[in-house]
Amino acid sequence: MSLFKAREWWSAVLGEGEEFDQGCLCIGDVDNSGTGLDKVVVGSYIGMLRIFSPHVSKSGEGGSADANLLEVQLQNAIIQVEVGKFVSCSELLHLAVLHPRKLSVYSVSGTAGNVEHGSQYQLKLVYQHNLQRTACNMTYGTFGGVTGHHSLCIQSMDGMLMFFEQDSYSFGRFLPGFLLPGPLVYNPRTDSFLTVSSARQLESYKYETLAVATEAESRQDPDLPVKTGGKRLMPDWVFVLGEQALDLSVPSFSHSSSSIFILGERNLYCVRDNGQMRFMKKLEFNPSCFMPYSTVTDGTTSMLLGNHTNMLLVYQDVTLKWVAQLSFVPVAIRVANFLELKGLVVSLSSDGHLLCSYMGTDPTFFSMPKVDAREADYEQMDAEMKKLQKIIREATRTQDILPKADSETDLIVTAAVSSSMDNPSRALIQDINGLPVPSVSVQVKVKASCVVQSSKLTVGVQPPLAVTQDQFVLDPMGVGSSTVVAFSAFLNGRYPPADLTGDITVSYSSPTGVPRVLQSRFSLPLALVCAPSSPAKTTKFKITVDTNQPPVDLKSIFPACSAKSEDKDGNSLAFQFLSGASVTVLASKTSQRYRIQSDSFEDMWLVVKELVQRFDQHFSKVGVKDFKKSFSGPLPLQEYFLCVDHHFQLRVNAQQYQDLLSERAVQFRAIQRRLLTRFKDKTPAPLQNLDTLLDATYSQVMALAEAAEENQVLLGEAFVRLQSATHLLVLLLSLWQGLTSDQTVILEATLLPLLQDTPQLGWEESCDAAVSHLLRSCLSRSPKDQATSLAQAGGPVLGLPRDTTRLKKHITLLCDRIGKGGRLTLASEANVQVPVQVQSLAAPGGVEPIAEVAADEEELELLQEATKFIKKKQPHKKVKKDKDSREKMDMSEEPSEATVKEVAGGAEEPVKEESKKDPHKEARDPREEVKKDFKKESSFSKEKKEKEEKEASKEPWDKKVSMKSSAKVKEKKKEPEAGEG
């Protein structure tokens, strides 16, 4: 509770629904009691006149009722009330009441009562004037220097000043350039009237000037020319304010006799009698009323000023001396003297709150209780300080970049996958290898907790999976409403996906207009991409998973596959993928081992993942808390590297196709220019087989484009298979070393840094950079090496490597370091202390990247260590012989001219032969020659395809594309010369 408040001494509430303004309050001894004590006169806009004599009631009850001397209902609205000597034959004070069309002067008299009710007061009308114009405000004073009584001046709404001397009307004058009425006040020192015009300037008119000016009644329009005698009315002086004035005041006390105060909307002005500014105060609030009053210091003036924030401020000139809080916005302030107190502040609000208050502070009797003196427990304080420091350190180290999401979301997204397949299936491909392609329906429910407009839902699945509809525009939702959308997912390719999870993204705008995105995830069943089949006895790849619990019946783990399984004991299950590969799961009868085997290494990933997840769910339902699973066999790195080599070879092929297409396009445009030059020539020259060369080049461009498109499709399939193989390798590594979930996430981000292969950035260079970073940071051999690597600058720009040898070394080394106890963490980099000799390298410009040769030497050393760790099996003799023979072929084989001509499409040889023949025989049958060339090309491609299939049957993906681009380029550079000749 603030001390600086206006202390209430007496108050009253004047009626209900009444309105008051600044002219409705005046102070004076209106009943002529002779005691010099003031009475409070209040008039309202509904015509109610009240007179109060405030005092504190001794009984404490009925204070406002006892103070009410008189309450009269007049017929018209009361605009202004004033107390003065308005009767010529009397020295007593009378009450002047201004109505819109009437001016009334009353006498207030009191008669002493003979009973306890007290004195009785009466209101008698002395005289009144009916006004021809609607009144706005009035002022009074000793106009013209006449003493002993007061005259009245009324300003009308149309700018006419009407002067009255007691009960007689004197004259009226129009103000020049009038638009709207402003405040009006009389200055007795200079016998002049002050007002603020609609031009926002203070104007002063002497009474003498007004008296001798043109008569107002003689002309209706002040702008018309003067027809009668008199002077044109002009102000004596003008002071430009620049804003509308709320009130004017001319104090009558002697020490500030030359001051005129103007309250503006934003400023407070003080002007001398001659129109010169004395001072100005810029206000930082909206004022409502003011009242200058006498001060104890000579040469200064004190003011009471009310504003629209219920504050009462006391200024001494421009200095703020006191601030008091009111309970309402005052519209009129006066200073009055009553019996008990002198100089009370009387304030009135627009709705009729009348308050007599004083300013001061009430003493407070609250004292702070004494705090019990106790000794500080320094051990407890030290422990608390360490705890707080630890919290601060963790908060500053792991500070999130993205803002944390709100605990209460605007939308709740729930995805439900059907337990059974759709009947009929909604897949685009009806069957693959004789097996029908199923589809499963997914329902997504979006529930809103607030009003959501313009929301969109997007569904994303991993290739080659597809959905019937991937984008939905949701209807506007209210609070508590929900929307359900449905779609079906199915396999849309000839190979299994790397992940069966899908993402749902809902983008919407919050009620405040902030765009937001909400994500959810759902999992598709394994039956969507495979079907039960009979187990295979002999397979190429095998993986064994150990557990610490007794063997489980596989039928209970996979109930959907048990119905079609031929094994009655539940020890074996088989999954036939729609793409062709079969995966068999075998459970040992005596030990706690499970074997997963297949002819395709990467196709085992989905089955192994599903098996591990269902084991966790099964044993958690049973109540086993210490269930553990592990992998003890050697890591299948050689099988994994086959997938890497296959993917890399397809990337190399794509680059070669791109280069060949560029060369053929250049050749095609050159031939076109030659032909265009020949056709534009006025004297036609022989074409010299340029048309045949153009047709052959066009056919080569089309063949290369089709081959590039086919290679791009194979590259997408190879990348998905590589993802599956990488996921399987990460899972085996985590089972082998018992990695935590955080370490597994780091390993997945390292080996799978890309979601999609692009020509600019591929998987090999991205994975190599990530693995190299781990080997130099958290998996380095010593903190010194780690600090050195942290002080080095960034590596070169990533690009397609020459081969995969370096990547294989790094992945092998990564597995070696993890197997020897290395732990994957990203926070360890911040804990490494950089040695002094390395700190000098970290200075700007003092670091150079490590040479590639040195890095290769270090990796060769580490590779020798890694060979001790990996248990390799001896390859089959036949495979080894094939591999040796292929290496010898690659080293000794030189591309012959016939091979170059066949690869180029068979167009070069006919051109050379025909150039030697008779030019008249050129156009005989070029189409037959082109057909022969296409027959040669098709036969060559057929033989090549059969050869690749034979090699793929021996050892998948372990084949090489012969690099013959250099010979082809030389041959192509000679072709335009042959054409010219």
DSSP 635-683: P-HHHHHHHHHHHHHHHHHHHHHHHHHHHHHHHHHHHHHHHHHHHH-SS
Are 76 and 47 contacting, i.e. CB atoms less than 8 angstroms apart?
yes
In the chain, which residues fall in CATH 3.30.310? Answer: 530-631
d(C-alpha 457, C-alpha 503), whole Å: 10
Residues 6+ apart with CB under 8 A from 330: 288, 289, 306, 312, 347, 348, 349
Task: Return residue ranges of the chain for CATH 2.130.10.10.
Answer: 5-217+234-360
- Tell me, what's the pLDDT at 715? 92
Q: Which residues contact 244 (CB under 8 A, 6 or more apart)?
A: 182, 196, 200, 264, 265
Quote the crossing angle between the two packed helices 965-980 and 690-737, to the nearest 10°. Answer: 170
Contact predicate 154/193, CB 8 Å: no
Name the segment(s) of the chain with CATH classification 2.60.40.1510: 411-527
Phi, psi of 129 (to 5 degrees): -125, 130
Cβ(769)–Cβ(782) under 8 Å? Answer: no
Bridge-based pairing of strands 344-349 and 330-336 is antiparallel
Cα dist from 206 to 214, 237, 484, 614, 632, whole Å: 14, 10, 85, 106, 115
Cα separation, 962 vs 949, whole angstroms: 16
> Regarding the domain with residue range 411-527, which homologous superfamily does it belong to in the CATH classification?
ntegrin, alpha v. Chain A, domain 3 (2.60.40.1510)
Whether omega for the bond prior to residue 424 falls within 30 degrees of 0, making it cis, is yes
CA distance 186 to 163: 12
Q: Which residues pair with 618 in a beta bridge?
A: none
Label residues 39-52 b or e (16+ Cβ within 10 Å = b).
Answer: bbbbbbeebbbbbb
Whole-number pLDDT of residue 918? 42
pLDDT along the chain (981 residues), means of 10: 73 87 91 84 92 73 68 91 89 92 91 66 90 93 86 92 90 90 91 92 92 68 50 88 92 70 93 89 92 77 90 90 90 87 89 88 65 76 93 73 59 90 88 87 91 89 92 88 92 89 91 86 90 83 87 79 58 84 85 87 89 87 84 88 93 93 94 88 79 92 95 92 92 90 90 84 90 86 59 66 91 90 68 42 36 42 45 42 44 37 36 38 40 44 51 41 39 40 31
Considering only CA atoms, which of 70, 135, 141, 78 is closest in space to residue 107? 70
User: Checking DSSP bridges between strand 629-630 and strand 501-509, what pairing results, if any?
Assistant: unpaired
- Domain at 5-217+234-360, CATH from 1.20.1250.20, 1.10.8.60, 1.20.1630.10, 2.130.10.10: 2.130.10.10
* Distance of alpha carbon 345 from alpha carbon 337, whole angstroms: 9
Quickly list DSSP for 560-619: HHHTT-S-SSS-EEEEEETTS-EEEEEE-SSSSEEEEEES-STTHHHHHHHHHHHHHHHH
Query: Which of 664, 568, 759, 765 lies closest to 975 in space, CA to CA?
Result: 664
Neighbours of 650 (CB within 10 A): 22
Predicted confidence at residue 905, as pLDDT, reads: 38
Rounded to whole angstroms, how far apart are CA atoms 911 and 690? Answer: 9
Question: pLDDT tens digits, residue range 908-943?
Answer: 333 333 333 343 433 344 344 434 443 444 444 445
Distance in angstroms (rounded) separating the CA atoms of residues 143 and 152: 8
Closest C-alpha to 172, from 217, 233, 234: 217
Domain 530-631 has CATH 3.30.310: yes
Residue 835 and residue 787: Cα distance in Å, rounded?
Answer: 7
- Determine the 3-state secondary structure of 776 from DSSP: helix
CA distance linking residue 330 with residue 311, whole number of Å: 9
pLDDT at 859: 46
Question: pLDDT value at position 588?
Answer: 84
CA distance 204 to 190: 10
Cα 852 from Cα 75, distance rounded (Å): 108
Q: With DSSP H G I counted as helix, E B as strand and the rest as coil, what are the percentages for the chain, rounded to 5?
A: 30, 30, 40
**So what's the pLDDT on residue 479?**
85
pLDDT in tens, 404-426: 555 457 889 999 999 888 888 88
Can you spell out the DSSP letters for 62-84? Answer: -HHHHHEEEEEE-SS---EEEEE
- The neighbour count for residue 421, using CB atoms within 10 Å, is 17
